[in-house]
Amino acid sequence: MICHDVTRFSDFDIYLFKEGTHTKLYEKFGAHIMQYQGETGVYFAVWAPHAKYVSVVGDFNGYNATAHPLKKREDGSGIWEGFSTDAKIGQTYKYHIITPYDTTLLKADPYAFHAEKPPKSASRIWSLQGYGWKDSQWMQRRAKTNIHESPMNIYEVHLGSWRRRDDGSYLSYTEAAKELAQYLVKLGYTHVELLPITEYPFKGSWGYQVSGYYAPTARYGTPQEFMEFVDIMHSHGIGVILDWVPSHFVTDGHGLIAFDGTALYEYEDPKKGYHPEWKSAVFDYGKNEVRAFLISSAHFWLEKYHIDGIRVDAVASMLYLDYGRKEGEWEPNIYGGNENLEAISFLKQLNESCYGTFEGITMIAEESTAFPGVTKPVYAGGLGFGYKWNMGWMHDTLKYFKTDPLFRKYHHNQITFSMWYAYDENFILPLSHDEVVHMKGSLINKMPGDINQKLANLRALFGYMLAHPGKKLLFMGGEFAQFKEWDFDGELQWELLDDPKHKALQKMLQDLNTLYKTTPALYRWDEKREGFIWLNEKDWERSVLSFARVAKDETIVVVCNFADTQYENYILPVPKSGKYKEIFNSQHSKYLGWDHYPVRVLQSKPMQCCGFENSLTITLPALSVIYLQLIS
């Protein structure tokens, strides 16, 4: 039985939907269990304005296309809806659509809360009720925290390949959370960033080819289990960042592509609506209903799943009409430029809406160009993100560390250049999944030398990264020097931790992360120029650089020797006179480095160097990074 007298839409909802400003469409569209005239059933609503006929088919009617037809609203919204007492929670369903061209489509629900486990593709009737959140203290604390003056050290994770069960099957959301939360606390991380868990058909896409923008993938469990994942993280003091993909979507037939037989969610012109590099469809950001669909998705994860931050993937591909396209494959905008003005407007609306609604969240852009003002407020002409990935730092730093130490002196500018633009945006320094796939090699295998030199270089890289202005991100496996490139279809090489050398690297990163979290000079003034002082950035011939990180009355001096040579009696300028105590040494023997000196406590002397009145005399081990704290 199907009833057409039921609706969840008010006139105001329709107005906001058409205007592109509705932010809670997940309360209206999709499949909702509700009561009508004393009977429990399921209300269905789908947007298909060009369809000739729409019905809902599923387990409850044997996928009969005529049993449960929906009715099109008469207000020009293009919404089809209906209420059935036959449908039950947990049953699968799709929309049967007859297009304007009399072809038939079977589509998953764009607003479904749950789906079949891939490779099956039907949506599943589900309720998000019934989970009792226990994170009220976390949410209250988050609302009061200024993340820009707080430590932010992110561990990037692909849930399907972090760990697996003994039989090779996936851990559930709950199983993964229990192990992962303890691991992150032990290693001193503040946040976990999940590669996309929004439902996706092809596991080889790692989640970046999305089919369900409102459903956590069924590979790892139910929506309530993902809620528990977030809750467990919060109970351990770990924030959760979700990788979210509004830049493009999968072209599988059951998804959003040509949803009602026309280019509904995507641009009609393939020069804008098809991404040749990724072979995926591009959202039509100029269509109000599409903007509302995407912004409601972001709100959905922030509200229903208590997500703490959203990392927007591939922002550069949204900003530029010629991204990934050759000459003749794109059309300029109305002003003759290559910017996608509609996407720019959408991103501003997205950030204003999310920041204006949810306290203490973080919006992050994965943006790889020099587009100005990515993290400036919208009112100041920016896009309104909180942070931007610093891809320039990542590329230059890895290129430098790949270079044999003998020749690094000729590439010194690669390691110092980032400070020229470090305060142009609010940056996150990423060593992400993209750097350990597609024949790029693992982090440890990017490093030159024998195994001891490789590990020393990697320790130095982490020491330099944690001291450089900007929040931090490291992809899983890097923390213990996984040898293999990341394999999404396996698990990390945990057996390497039986090797003392790999265990020592993990221990060093644990100590370094803890030091970072507890040392305000290393994070509080990340976005203020006065939080960083070059001491000597010009010692290129010895591949040494030194700087200070400061915050109020705290001063940390950092000296990096990236040469494979030990320097005795090195003159190190310092910003203030006094005693300096070594608080970190990447080459300490406890990390199986080759520095066997006791912890240094050095008194500065009135000795001019590099424009500073006081200096220290210190021995710099080869391939080392040392932190010295002013203690008096």
The token duo for 169 is: 């099957």
- 135 in the Ramachandran plot: left (φ > 0), alpha (ψ -120 to 50) or beta? alpha
- Pair type for strands 567-574 and 614-620: antiparallel
| Catalytic annotation, pick one of 81, 156, 313, 526 | 313
Q: How far apart are CA 538 and CA 545, in angstroms?
A: 7
Question: Quick check: helix, strand or coil at residue 191?
Answer: strand
**Are the beta carbons of 403 and 411 closer than 8 angstroms?**
yes
**Are the beta carbons of 567 and 610 closer than 8 angstroms?**
no
User: 138 vs 126, 157, 190, 440, CA distance in Å?
Assistant: 27, 22, 13, 38
Candidates 150, 230, 163, 154; CA nearest to 192 is 154
User: 397 vs 13, 294, 443, CA distance in Å?
Assistant: 50, 35, 12
| Strand ranges for 121-165 from DSSP E | 123-124, 153-157
Q: Does residue 313 have an active-site annotation?
A: yes
In this structure, the number of other CB atoms found within 10 A of the CB of residue 493 comes to 16
Question: Quick check: helix, strand or coil at residue 353?
Answer: helix
Q: How far apart are CA 486 and CA 441, in angstroms?
A: 9
The token duo for 627 is: 């932190």
Q: Is the peptide bond before 119 cis (omega within 30 degrees of 0)?
A: yes
Q: How far apart are CA 88 and CA 90, in angstroms?
A: 6
Candidates 215, 208, 333, 346; CA nearest to 275 is 208
The token duo for 4 is: 């057409």
Neighbour-count burial for 161-200, b at 16+ CB within 10 Å, e otherwise: bbbbeeeeebbbbbbbbbebbebbeebbbbbbbbbbbbbb
**Are the beta carbons of 578 and 569 closer than 8 angstroms?**
no
| Catalytic annotation, pick one of 13, 81, 289, 366 | 366
User: 316 vs 324, 469, 515, 516, 540, CA distance in Å?
Assistant: 10, 23, 34, 31, 34
Q: How far apart are CA 202 and CA 208, in angstroms?
A: 9
| Amino acid letter for position 82 | G
| Amino acid letter for position 136 | S
Burial degree of 74 (CB within 10 A; 0-12, 13-18, 19+): exposed
- Which residues are CB-contacts of 2 (< 8 A; sequence separation ≥ 6)? 67, 68, 69, 70, 82, 83, 84
The token duo for 274 is: 């098809």
Backbone angles phi, psi at 229, to 5 degrees: -55, -50
**Are the beta carbons of 250 and 201 closer than 8 angstroms?**
yes
Query: For every residue of 554-623, which 3-state class applies, written as one string?
Result: EEEEEEEECCCCCEEEEEEEECCCCEEEEEEECCEHHHCCCECCCCCEEECECCCECCECEEEEEEECCC
Looking only at Cα atoms, what is the longest distance across the chain? 90
Helix pair angle (500-517, 451-467), 10° resolution: 10
| Active site amino acids | 313, 366
